Each structure stands twice: as C-alpha cells, then as structure tokens.
Amino acid sequence: MPLIPAPLYRGLLRPILFSLDPEVAHHLTLSMLSMMPPLPVAPDPPELHSSLWGMEFSNPIGLAAGMDKDAIAIGAWQSLGFGFAELGTITPRPQPGNPKPRVFRLPEHHALINRLGFPSEGMEAVAPRIERARRGATRIRLALNFGPNKDTPAEQVAADYTVLMTRLAPLADFIVINVSSPNTPGLRNWQSPERMRELFGGVSGAHPPMLLKVAPDLDEPTLDLLCDTAIELRLDGMVVCNTTVKREEVGVTSTETGGLSGSPLRDLARTRIATVYRRTQGKLPIIGVGGIMNAEDALGHIKAGASLIELYTGLIYEGPGLITSMKKSLTNLLRREGFRSISEAVGSAART
C-alpha cells in the first residue's frame, strides 16, 4: 500500500474505493492495512525531527483520530511513514455508534461528512492490541483519544474519562481528551472552563501528557477562555481542531448532518490554531489538524502555531503514498524558506 504512487491511487484505486459505500471502503482498507507486514521506512531528514514533552518525534505528521478507532492497524501507520498515530476515539464500553449511513463523501470539495457517533470496541478490546504493538516493532509515538459512552448520563461523563485514564494511560505516549465531536449529544458542552475544571481537576499523580481536542466552531472569546483554563489546569497541549458543523461559511452546501472534514476546513482550522498560539503565547504545544492535503497545507498550520500536525481526510483523497511525498516536500519547503527545523517554523506567521 505505501508504495502506491499518487497517480496510481487517483487513477485506479480511488475510483474503486469510491464506488463502494464510504464505511465499507474504510473497513476494507483498514483490514488490508492491518494485515500488512511491517515495511522498512527510510530515516526522516533531521529537519523534520522535533522534541516535545521530552519525547522525540521523527517527523511531525500524525494520523488523526477516527481512522483507527480500535487500534487494529498500528504497524501500518509506521510503515506509511507517520511520526505518530492518534488511536480512538476509544470509549470505556463497546458501543455501535449511530445508525447507518453515517459517512458521506463530498468529492467536489475533497471533504467528508461523518456522524459516526464513536463506534468503539471499547477499552478492554483495544488495550491488548496496543500492548502487543509496544512489545513488537512499533517505534512511532502512539496517542490515545478518549471519549465517553453515548448512554453515560451527564453527571457520569467525567467518571468515563477517569476510567479510560486508569486503564489506558500507561499505554499512551500522550492522551487526547475529546470533548469536541459533534456526534455525541451534549459532548461539546464540556468545552467550558467549569466543565474543564470538573474533568481535569481530579487528575492526579504521574500521567502522560494530556491534551484537549477542541471544535473549530467555538467563537474566539470562548476559545480564549479555554486556552486560559488549559494553562490554569496545566494541560500539556491542545489539538486544534475537530470537524465543523458549519456549511455555507466554509463554502459547502450539503444537508447531511454531522462533522465536516477536509479541504473546506483548512482555513478555519488555521485561524483557530493562530488564536490558540497567540493566546497561549506559544507556551502550550498545538497539534494542528483540519484540511491538510499536502505539504504546503501542513507548513501553513505549523507557521500558524502547530508543533505537530495530523490528517485524516487527505489520506482518503490522496492515498497512502501521501505521507512519504509530504515529508519530502515539507523538507524542501523548509529549506527554501530558510528554516533549519520544524521548531523554527512553529508560529513564525504570528511573529511577522
């Protein structure tokens, strides 16, 4: 799979996959990836290396949450060249998610709409897979993304996150607390200072770095408040951002409900990344995600303030060779723009 060049993917494989229902295509691809033997990956150029939270990242490109919710293809993400993979959203108990159909392609926009609602095999199914990968040849960083079960009453949601932390935190390089999916009723209400204090105030003892994933649909004052609260609660970073419920504002006309991802999200995500970077004065590492389809998009998010970036929809439209080609182009772009490393480029747009 990783050796499939972009023209072959666009000309042959993508039309076949796009003739199938999006979720069927997703599961087919994922099971093929899960069976792939580990492939040797060329070392990343030194310009792409970075160090965050005392950890080395061989390159800044990560798999965004949602692609490998149940951690079944960990080895493949390394073989495709990612520097890290965010697995999940993982819920405490297994749950089926929303009724189908619940994923829709918008090919003319290079976008997707999904209202999956956290289908998850649950943390007990996922844990042994991560343990196995850790014992095996997996060297890339693994982030785990946590969400509550749909039928968990509001007053128990914080307890769901605690249960996930207790069971899975020891297996994670870092943790992403997802309070920004538009597809679990009430979840986005947790994006408030009071609720954040409730969620994170009880976390004590040693744990891996903990990040908050936010929606692009928060207005700027609310986002500013969340940044202040994240600093107050000593969170380790923010993932900016999840899918959007906006349509016309981002140039899309579709009546399907759910979260929109892909190209139309890019500029909105970048604006939110810049807001978080400015408000936190670069003190809180940001993972920039939303609408990245190529190296220029990635560097744009980095220059706006992201220390690492992630993508999902880009992989659907550009194929598995995207990561290798992005790393090459990103290295060239950095050199051309006079940056000796990713960290030199982080937030450089905010300083000009």
Ligand X SMILES: Cc1cc2nc3c(=O)[nH]c(=O)nc-3n(C[C@H](O)[C@H](O)[C@H](O)COP(=O)(O)O)c2cc1C
β-strands 111-114, 141-146: how paired? Answer: unpaired
Interface residue with ligand X among 76, 103, 130, 157 (CB under 6 A) is 103
Choose between 69 and 188: whose C-beta lies nearer to ligand X: 69
Q: Considering the rule CB under 6 A, would residue 284 count as an interface residue with ligand X?
A: no
Q: Considering the rule CB under 6 A, would residue 69 count as an interface residue with ligand X?
A: yes
Interface residue with ligand X among 98, 152, 184, 313 (CB under 6 A) is 313
Q: Considering the rule CB under 6 A, would residue 79 count as an interface residue with ligand X?
A: no
In this chain, which stretch among 41-49, 121-129, 311-319, 323-331 interacts with ligand X, using CB under 6 A?
311-319
In this chain, which stretch among 93-101, 111-119, 322-330, 343-351 interacts with ligand X, using CB under 6 A?
111-119
Q: Where are the alpha helices (DSSP H) in the chain?
A: 6-8, 14-18, 22-35, 74-79, 123-135, 157-168, 193-201, 220-232, 266-279, 295-304, 313-318, 322-336, 342-345, 348-351
The dihedrals phi and psi of 89, each to the nearest 5 degrees, come to -70, 130
Active-site option among 79, 181, 261, 307: 181
Instruction: For residue 103, give the nearest of 290, 257, 241, 263 by alpha carbon.
Output: 257
Choose between 28 and 137: whose C-beta lies nearer to ligand X: 28
| Position 102, amino acid | R
Give the bridge partners for 308, in sequence order.
287
Choose between 133 and 215: whose C-beta lies nearer to ligand X: 215
Q: Considering the rule CB under 6 A, would residue 298 count as an interface residue with ligand X?
A: no
User: In the 8-state DSSP scheme, what is residue 65?
Assistant: T
User: Residue 213 is inside which H or E element, if any?
Assistant: strand 210-214
User: In the 8-state DSSP scheme, what is residue 107?
Assistant: G
The distance of closest approach from Cβ of residue 154 to ligand X in the complex, given in angstroms and rounded to an integer, is 19
Q: Considering the rule CB under 6 A, would residue 29 count as an interface residue with ligand X?
A: no
Q: Considering the rule CB under 6 A, would residue 242 count as an interface residue with ligand X?
A: yes
Structure tokens at 28: 């087919």
How far is residue 325's CA from residue 5's CA, in Å, rounded to a whole number? 9
**Is 302:269 a contact under the CB 8 Å cutoff?**
no
Q: Considering the rule CB under 6 A, would residue 91 count as an interface residue with ligand X?
A: no
The distance of closest approach from Cβ of residue 65 to ligand X in the complex, given in angstroms and rounded to an integer, is 4
**Is 1:8 a contact under the CB 8 Å cutoff?**
no
Q: Considering the rule CB under 6 A, would residue 272 count as an interface residue with ligand X?
A: no
With both helix axes pointing from N to C terminus, report the angle between 220-232 and 266-279 in degrees, rounded to the nearest 10. Answer: 50
Q: Considering the rule CB under 6 A, would residue 243 count as an interface residue with ligand X?
A: yes
SS3 277: helix
The distance of closest approach from Cβ of residue 219 to ligand X in the complex, given in angstroms and rounded to an integer, is 19
Interface residue with ligand X among 95, 98, 261, 275 (CB under 6 A) is 261
325 is known as an active-site residue = no
- Interface with ligand X (CB under 6 A), residue total 28
* Contacts to ligand X by CB under 6 A: 64-66, 69, 88-89, 103, 112, 114, 116, 118, 145, 178, 181, 213, 242-243, 261-262, 265, 289-292, 311-314
Return the active site residues. Answer: 181
